[in-house]
Chains A and B, each alone.
Chain A
């Protein structure tokens, strides 16, 4: 799906349509074959399999992919034979059929040009496959040896919805931009409809003033009657009164009608809005369609018997999150299959069921998405893990002995920590647990492990159901509303001005037995002015166990549910902001990036930003400015000192993201960046710089421990002007490289 707007099916090419169809049909083929393995005579499944193969064949014929037609046709023949009960699809036949499905999936992903080359490269395998299918069709065993290496499994399991669960929603393709525009309009119509309520009450106000007029007329009438009961003016007044009463009655009726219309309109608009948001949601099943196949293949490969279950398939998950869940879940499943679940013999010896159980479950709890991956394998051996931590030199032996089980398990999530004695092919491919944790953290979630030695492991993943709706605290800062994501707030406080202490010219606040730094939001966001200095200060506390900061805002506006939108791309990354949303009156509200804020405050307190705005002395020559980006404080400070001694003006940033923010707010002559950093690594930073029209010419030097030629190449490919290895870190060589790049500090 492309990101540009106005996409509908008519603008997809025939090839795109074929790919879409092939993706959906191969998903059915995969699923059906796994079902057939359980029940080889299932008529309905054989029927569906046959039809799926037939559809792929037909579609491939239309776009003229003859090889795809041949393979699909061979598959179809097998299913037809099974339907006629000429053959029974046993495990061996299923293997070859699944290989056929893989080949189909692989081929239909390629462009026409690449396909030709691919077919040429894989001619032998395709022929073996066709031979195998031919043998399978006549009920013969698949010629095991002749079948070459399996075709690499499809990179991404097909995400098409399976119709196997009976009545299920059919997915359609909508461009992301279209969808967000629909959400915008639905939101706006809800906002506008709500304004009618205010209008109704204004009408009611008008009516009561009308009544007031009527009362005045009545008293005028009775006064007139006393004076001249039979006079003409009295008569006229009475007629006026009658008319006015009729009008009032009519007005009443109209207001009631209007109120009804307004309420219906509001109701419809609200429903439309909720539906628009719900259209971002997909059932969990869509994201896990490829897993049964993965588990089947792994259990064959590892010789383990496993019963794999997916629970909560209908649980609604935001499509963005669903797409991103695949990698971490694959990791957990591979891990369980490889390390958790024992071989059958070991299970028997332990008195367990030979068939192990592996479960993947998704459900909603308290507005959060909870996903658990659990197995009944051997669990994690805490003592072995403890030994490994000591071996790796992470903790001294005596300290390790004192660590609790929970603390020991925490080490699993450290970067580069692997418990596997030997990295096997299966789990060696996966991402590290640290990556999973970072991923969940970015989503605003967390991961927890529950260990039962000898009885299994359970990983709990918790995250928001959607990234498009967020609960947030809205505050006012300098006249504008800003939102803090609720999950990122440590606590709120209404602080009495008298409680605030001063220490070295900075404000501190005693809270929960600790002194936390207090800072004015206007100062962090560079909005100018000062917040109102009342007796009570509204303070938002952010941070973690180690460092906390109090941010003083003008006032709390309350908790809101916000529909999150991306910031305008033209702005790039804006420091301290993560996204934007709309208030109930339809005006924009900015959503703060709390991680950024923490860094901004750190920088502010360490005086970095103050340095930035200090004006240069008159007559002084302009110094060249260098930005040093490194997550190690030692390296950062050493480089800063070396460079400052040489006369350069130096700023520092603690990771790629921080560096990127700095680049946008200041002018630099050179960037010196480390490679491995949290949030954004050095290569990504360089790439971003090169892609940015304003910064693309900025010289960048990468400093890294990695001395290998390929690392060097990666750095230079990303767009660095110079790759410097820390291993050979000599002040002189370092300085020479810098002078070569940008010249002396002052020229």
Chain B
């Protein structure tokens, strides 16, 4: 039975199948972690993501703590600087009652790291990891806040929501400047 001749189009079929797959792999796919600050959904490349932990006490740093530099937090016995990403991005608190769809219980602290420098920032909700292709990234609409525009390099459509794709270099550089 094994010696039986293959159907005449067998090889061609497989060849085209394999060729197709390779094409798929070669597509530019990237992974981001999607999270929410107030009513804005945002995405940051997954490779700078360390972990998501429960909300914990933040200790103010005398003479230094500001709107952006919140203070110190400890995660697994290590002490990190805690920053407010929403204040740095200029995302404004909405007036009026909070959207009932967003629960306080979904608040988390995120630990991110780049070039051996780590930061912790509170988020209102973590959606999870999402893969996207470069061609799906939309341009940043000019209606966005000026400060916010500086940090994002496009918009992503995720499950009916629009998420701002953050530029990691600009975000981390701005964070480093914020503690000076």
A complexed with B: yes
Closest residue on chain B to residue A182 by CB atoms? B77
Contact A480 B60 (CB under 8 A): yes
The answer, yes or no, to whether B100 is at the interface (CB within 8 Å) is no
The answer, yes or no, to whether B93 is at the interface (CB within 8 Å) is no
Chain B nearest CB from A138 CB (Å) reads 59
Closest residue on chain B to residue A566 by CB atoms? B79
Which of A183, A191, A571 has the most C-beta atoms of chain B within 10 angstroms of its own C-beta? A571
Contact A580 B62 (CB under 8 A): no
Contact A582 B74 (CB under 8 A): yes
The answer, yes or no, to whether B156 is at the interface (CB within 8 Å) is no
The answer, yes or no, to whether B127 is at the interface (CB within 8 Å) is no
* A539-575 contact mask (Cβ, 8 Å, vs B): 1 or 0: 0000000000000000000000000010010110011
The answer, yes or no, to whether A656 is at the interface (CB within 8 Å) is no
- A664: chain B residues within 8 A (beta carbon): 63
The answer, yes or no, to whether B61 is at the interface (CB within 8 Å) is yes
* B39-75 contact mask (Cβ, 8 Å, vs A): 1 or 0: 0000000000000000011011111100000001110
Known: A181-B78, A191-B77. Is A587-B64 also a contact (CB below 8 A)? no
- B79: chain A residues within 8 A (beta carbon): 184, 565, 568, 580, 582, 588
Contact A590 B61 (CB under 8 A): yes
The answer, yes or no, to whether B104 is at the interface (CB within 8 Å) is no
Contact B179 A577 (CB under 8 A): no
A580 to B56, CA, bound (A): 17
- A525: chain B residues within 8 A (beta carbon): 62-63
Known: A570-B117, A694-B180. Is A589-B59 also a contact (CB below 8 A)? yes
The answer, yes or no, to whether B176 is at the interface (CB within 8 Å) is yes
Contact A586 B78 (CB under 8 A): no
- A478: chain B residues within 8 A (beta carbon): 60
The answer, yes or no, to whether B76 is at the interface (CB within 8 Å) is yes
* A691-718 contact mask (Cβ, 8 Å, vs B): 1 or 0: 0011000000000000000000000000
A525 to B65, CA, bound (A): 11
Which of B56, B57, B179 has the most C-beta atoms of chain A within 10 angstroms of its own C-beta? B57
Known: A187-B77, A188-B77, A588-B73. Is A574-B61 also a contact (CB below 8 A)? yes
- A186: chain B residues within 8 A (beta carbon): 77
Contact A590 B62 (CB under 8 A): yes
Contact A184 B63 (CB under 8 A): no
The answer, yes or no, to whether A527 is at the interface (CB within 8 Å) is yes
Closest residue on chain B to residue A582 by CB atoms? B74
Known: A185-B77, A580-B79. Is A571-B64 also a contact (CB below 8 A)? yes
A587 to B58, CA, bound (A): 8
A693 to B176, CA, bound (A): 11
Known: A187-B77, A580-B79, A588-B79. Is A570-B176 also a contact (CB below 8 A)? yes
Contact A587 B77 (CB under 8 A): no
Contact A575 B81 (CB under 8 A): no
The answer, yes or no, to whether A95 is at the interface (CB within 8 Å) is no
The answer, yes or no, to whether A576 is at the interface (CB within 8 Å) is yes
- B176: chain A residues within 8 A (beta carbon): 570
The answer, yes or no, to whether A424 is at the interface (CB within 8 Å) is no
Which of B60, B80, B176 has the most C-beta atoms of chain A within 10 angstroms of its own C-beta? B60
Closest residue on chain A to residue B56 by CB atoms? A587
The answer, yes or no, to whether A526 is at the interface (CB within 8 Å) is yes
Chain B nearest CB from A103 CB (Å) reads 41
Known: A582-B77, A588-B72. Is A575-B63 also a contact (CB below 8 A)? yes
Contact B81 A577 (CB under 8 A): no
A693 to B179, CA, bound (A): 12
Q: Give which listed residue, B59, B64, B76, contacts A588 with CB less than 8 A.
A: B59
Contact A574 B74 (CB under 8 A): no
The answer, yes or no, to whether A665 is at the interface (CB within 8 Å) is yes
Contact A577 B62 (CB under 8 A): yes
Q: Give which listed residue, B59, B74, B76, B117, contacts A480 with CB less than 8 A.
A: B59
Contact A576 B77 (CB under 8 A): no
A588 to B81, CA, bound (A): 11
- B61: chain A residues within 8 A (beta carbon): 571, 574, 577, 590
Closest residue on chain B to residue A524 by CB atoms? B62
A570 to B56, CA, bound (A): 22
Known: A565-B79, A580-B79. Is A588-B74 also a contact (CB below 8 A)? yes
Closest residue on chain B to residue A183 by CB atoms? B77
Contact B81 A570 (CB under 8 A): yes
- A694: chain B residues within 8 A (beta carbon): 180
Contact B59 A184 (CB under 8 A): no
Which of B74, B79, B117, B176 has the most C-beta atoms of chain A within 10 angstroms of its own C-beta? B74
Contact A590 B59 (CB under 8 A): yes
Contact B63 A586 (CB under 8 A): no
Chain A nearest CB from B145 CB (Å) reads 26
Contact A587 B62 (CB under 8 A): no
* B160-180 contact mask (Cβ, 8 Å, vs A): 1 or 0: 000000000000000010011
A570 to B117, CA, bound (A): 9
- A665: chain B residues within 8 A (beta carbon): 63
* A173-211 contact mask (Cβ, 8 Å, vs B): 1 or 0: 000000001011111110100000000000000000000
Contact B60 A574 (CB under 8 A): no
- A191: chain B residues within 8 A (beta carbon): 77
Known: A570-B81, A571-B81, A693-B180. Is A580-B72 also a contact (CB below 8 A)? yes
- Starting from the known contacts A481-B59, A568-B72, A576-B63, 10 additional A-B residue pairs (CB-CB under 8 Å) come to A184-B77, A188-B74, A188-B77, A189-B77, A480-B60, A570-B117, A571-B81, A577-B61, A587-B73, A590-B72
23 example contacts (A-B, Cβ-Cβ < 8 A) are as follows A184-B76, A185-B76, A191-B77, A480-B59, A480-B60, A481-B59, A525-B63, A568-B81, A570-B81, A571-B61, A571-B179, A575-B63, A576-B63, A580-B72, A587-B57, A587-B73, A587-B74, A588-B57, A588-B74, A588-B79, A589-B59, A590-B61, A694-B180
Which residue numbers of B lie inside 8 Å of A, CB to CB? 56-57, 59-64, 72-74, 76-81, 117, 176, 179-180
